[in-house]
Amino acid sequence: MEVIEKVFPNTSEITSLGKLEIGGCDVQNLAQKYGTPFYIFDSEHIENVCDTYNTEFISRYQNTQVVYGSKAFANKSIFKIILDKGLGADVVSGGELTLAILCGINPEKIYFHGNNKTEIELKLAQEAGLSKIVVDSFHELELLNSLSQNNYVIQDILIRLSPAIELDERTHKYTTTGILDSKFGFAIDNGDAEKAINLIESMNNLNLIGIHFHLGSPIFSIVPYVLGIKKVIEFLSQFKNLKLKEFSPGGGFAVPYTIEDKTPSVKEYAEAICNTLNESLDFFNMPKPKLIIEPGRAIIGPAGVAIYSVGAIKNIENVRKYISVDGGMGDNIRPALYGAKYEAVVINRLWDERPKEKVTIVGRYCESGDILIKDILLPEIKSGDIIAIPVSGAYSTSMASNYNMIPRPVIISVKDGMDSIIRKRESLSDLFKMDV
């Protein structure tokens, strides 16, 4: 079955009995055990992708550190895999930072991003011993320098630059970050980047050790990385006093969400980034810094699968057939927010691969925009059927909400025929416990 082969986790297969297994676990049995909706994460898939990123980049640029983009999905169990594979963590809040430290990730491998870090968060970072704070604004430079002075420390920092590289229409405008008109970073084109570097030289308690930029996500081509690296290295070459120890072109690596999606392989991303960096550094006779790579979606996205039960079915003749499931925008807002597209399979009807009707899969939330998949061809669906939506591991549960006061779903991991809960299902009482 093409959709299983192309967009489900690595260990997914259809058994001789027509059952879908992920990580050696029968998904239909899991639905009976845990109830729906729930999310499955394939631990072996995550491990394999971590290994691939390490291998492909380090083999081409030995001084590379791969760090996980935690905002895609931060969880103790996931961080344990990240730790075991030698990856660091890219965090964007005090919460993600605290979890990374709690899980034992070396502070030397934690990069603290964010366009508006609070004073409390910056103090937390310094108390944790972070040496990789990625500064995003003039306000943060002044604040961090003052905090460092008060704490009698010289704080190592990277700064985030914006190289104004345009992406194609496949990257949504809300996830395009490396352009001039962006809330992120110091722009090269308007002089802010040069001003920031010169300002840091006059600050006694900040030490600029590296440069970061991030173009957006997902990026379906290697070209923006090539253009971005060339532009940034050329810009940096004018600063003769800059001791560039670390360089990061960010993450944003694309994954296929549908069987039609064409994305570069990890090898192709690695070749483009490493070759361009080496060539650009050699051209300007600059020393070789540590390369920092930040895959988030690429590691966790394809490892996750959302599982729903079908409830109400509404057929408007000659207009549309709506299939309502017991989840939706509360656990995956990406289709409503970004127009994200997904595949789906009816796991209890895998024996009937022939699509019989065009349907729209919608959620249970009180919004007309609560649409998970619009106009997909599937076998005839009945109430009680179980629907699986793959590539749901990134930016779904991490952006989940309690809209309509609905508890967020349970999340489980699977490997070698074993399943375990990695985040409990919320109860109704959980929804009220913070109320006063």
Q: Give pLDDT tens digits along the chain (436 positions).
A: 889 999 999 999 999 889 999 999 999 999 999 999 999 999 999 999 999 999 999 999 999 999 999 999 999 999 999 999 999 999 999 999 999 999 999 999 999 999 999 999 999 999 999 999 999 999 999 999 999 999 999 999 999 999 988 765 554 344 455 456 678 889 999 999 999 999 999 999 999 999 999 998 789 999 999 999 999 999 999 998 899 999 999 999 999 999 999 999 999 999 999 999 999 999 999 999 999 999 999 999 999 999 999 999 999 999 999 999 999 999 999 999 989 999 999 999 887 667 789 999 999 999 999 999 999 999 999 999 999 999 999 999 999 999 999 999 999 999 999 999 999 999 999 999 999 9
Nearest one of 347, 410, 403 to 370, comparing CA atoms = 403
Residue 366 appears among annotated catalytic residues: yes
Contacts of 409 (CB under 8 A, 6+ apart): 36, 37, 38, 39, 327, 331, 397, 400, 425
Cβ atoms 374, 421 nearer than 8 A: no
Cβ atoms 232, 283 nearer than 8 A: no
CATH classification code of 44-300: 3.20.20.10
Q: Which of 25, 103, 274, 366 is catalytic?
A: 366
Structure tokens at 54: 């390490």
How many helices (H) does the chain have, and how many strands (E)? 13, 21
Tell me, what amino acid is at 322? Y
DSSP 216: B
Cβ atoms 234, 280 nearer than 8 A: yes
Domain residue limits, the chain:
2-35+303-432, 44-300
| Architecture of domain 2-35+303-432 in this structure | Beta Barrel (2.40)
